Amino acid sequence: MREVKQLILDGDDAATIESDDLLQCERAYGGLYDAENNRFGFRYFPGDDTQPTWDFDLSRDDIFRIAVGEMTQMTLYRCKDDRCRCLVPGPEWYCTNCDNPNDFA
C-alpha cells in the first residue's frame, strides 16, 4: 500500500481515473472505482485454490493509514454460497465471484 499511497500523492493517472490499473501484482489488483467519493477496490488472490479471494473497499484515507501501519485489521464478510468462499468488505456487498447480491454472513 505504500506504493499505492505514493501513486495517489503523485497524481499518477492510474490513481486519478476509474480503472483497476493502480495495483497490478502477482496476487492482487485494483484501483479507483468511484472517483467522486475517492473509493478504491482491490482483489487479493491467496495463491491457493482452497483459500477464498478477498475483496477490499478502501477510502484514500484507509490506504494512507495502511501504508504507515496505523490500520492493520478490517472486517470481511464471507459469501453464504459455500461453493464461492469469497470474502467481501460488507454485508450488502455484491459478490462478483459467484454473482450473488446481498447474501453474506
- Averages of pLDDT over runs of 10 residues in the chain (105 residues) are 93 91 90 94 84 88 96 87 81 74 49
Q: Whole-prediction pTM value?
A: 0.81
Are residue 50 and residue 101 in the same domain, yes or no?
A: no
Are residue 61 and residue 85 in the same domain, yes or no?
A: no
Are residue 60 and residue 33 in the same domain, yes or no?
A: yes
Are residue 68 and residue 103 in the same domain, yes or no?
A: no
What is the tens place of the pLDDT at every residue in 72-89? 999 988 887 777 778 888
3-class SS letters over the chain: CHHHHHHHHHCCHHHHCCCCECEEECCEEEEEEEHHHCEEEEEECCCCCCCCCEEEEEEHHHHHHHHCCCCCCCCCEEECCCCCCCEECCCCCCECCCCECCCEC
Containing structural domain, residue 65: 2-72
Domain count across the chain: 2
